[in-house]
Amino acid sequence: MSMLTGEVNGKRVAMVCGIPMDVENCPVRDVMDNIGGKWNSLMILSLADGPLRFSQLRRLIPDISQRMLTQTLRDLQRDGYIHRTVYPTQPPSVEYALTDLGRSLLGLLKHFVDWSVENHGAIRAAREVYDAEA
Amino acid sequence: MSMLTGEVNGKRVAMVCGIPMDVENCPVRDVMDNIGGKWNSLMILSLADGPLRFSQLRRLIPDISQRMLTQTLRDLQRDGYIHRTVYPTQPPSVEYALTDLGRSLLGLLKHFVDWSVENHGAIRAAREVYDAEA
DNA sequence: AAGAGCAAGTCTCAAAAAGAGACCATGTGC
DNA sequence: GCACATGGTCTCTTTTTGAGACTTGCTCTT
């Protein structure tokens, strides 16, 4: 992980790991802008065990609004993490499933889940110290 | 990664990996709420090589407002990822450095950076397909 | 000596994003 | 006939974020 200042399109920009952290040229930002959203990674985790329908997701994540559920699913579909299938039943049901890309990302997210559980205590402790002295 | 419905404090909640995905009781959400923010993980990556001062960070990430820079640093400090040191120089300078916890998270973020670079092409491709048919 | 610039922020106001909840068409069970 | 389910959209309000001026004290330039 080395950082230096590099040149992209004649502009000086910060480099992290040899990747331009520039606003337009940074793949990390481009990816993060989607999956870093409030609901996006939770959605991918929720689909880990298999496809779910719209209303199943809504029940699984009770504190998401329908509006944000729709939008999150669209965003994830657009970037290729999930696939949307409509079954012509009565009433029509819609199923959301992880793609290969989505499962690949899920592998990363699992590590993140483990890390969160391991370090949750330390974070809560740090928070209390900070709040006490402020 | 198994998901089922479990019981926490008498309430039925979704479980992912044996972790309650409930709003109040989920360590993953608690951690993610901070580092999932727009600037937070970028900030930790920026401090990877060593401590930086406020204005150095501002120059490194030109598209962050001072207001959000201050707030992001405070949030990260509160959760124990970074440490803030004031040097009584003239004018006083303030240095931000990763803590052990911050470096631990950095390890995860590096994997994320690698994944982003590897899969950026696939994501852009998926995006174009989606935009074309919509 | 006057003016500019930097340090690390705070403050205010405007714009964007998110949340709450009504509404839609269609069909089933009671 | 009534309530409920399906997968959403629409509008309204609240919360977040962004843009940019302002601060205090010191140094550097002219």
What is the 3-class SS of B105-116, one letter each residue?
A: HHHHHHHHHHHH
According to the model, what pLDDT value does residue B20 have? Answer: 58
Work out the pLDDT band at A10, boundaries 50, 70, 90: very low
Beta carbons of A30 and B76 less than 8 angstroms apart: no
Q: What share of chain A has pLDDT > 70, as a percent?
A: 81
Q: What is the mean pLDDT of chain B?
A: 86
pLDDT tens digits for A43-61? 999 999 999 999 999 999 9
The pTM (predicted TM-score) of the whole model is 0.88
Phi and psi at A89, nearest 5°, equal -85, -175
Query: Mean pLDDT over residues A81-100, rounded?
Result: 93
| CB atoms closer than 10 angstroms to residue A79 | 26
Lookup: tokens for B70: 């201050």
Examine the pLDDT at A132 and tell me if it is beyond 50.
yes
Work out the pLDDT band at A89, boundaries 50, 70, 90: confident
According to the model, what pLDDT value does residue B75 have? Answer: 97
Give the burial string for A9-26 (b: 16+ CB within 10 Å, else e). eeeebbbbeebbbbeeeb
Determine the Cα–Cα distance for residues B63 and B69; give it in Å rounded to an integer.
Answer: 10
User: Which residues of chain B are within 8 Å of residue A112 when distances are taken between CB atoms?
Assistant: 28, 32, 108
Closest residue on chain A to B121 (Cα): A27
From the list B48, B123, B106, the residue with the least C-alpha distance to A40 is B123
Residues 71-110 of A with CB under 8 A from B: 77-80, 101, 104-106, 108, 110
pLDDT tens digits for B77-129? 999 999 999 998 878 899 999 999 999 999 999 999 999 999 999 999 999 99
What lies within 8 Å, CB to CB, of A24 at 6+ separation is none
According to the model, what pLDDT value does residue B39 have? Answer: 95
Beta carbons of B103 and B109 less than 8 angstroms apart: no
Beta carbons of B47 and B56 less than 8 angstroms apart: no
User: Does B101 contact A78 at a Cβ distance shorter than 8 Å?
Assistant: no
From the list A106, A109, A110, the residue with the least C-alpha distance to A97 is A106
Q: Does the beta carbon of A69 lie under 8 angstroms from any beta carbon of chain B?
A: no
Query: Mean pLDDT over residues A1-8, rounded?
Result: 42
Q: Which of A99-108, B24-33, B59-68, B81-90 has the lowest mean pLDDT?
A: B24-33
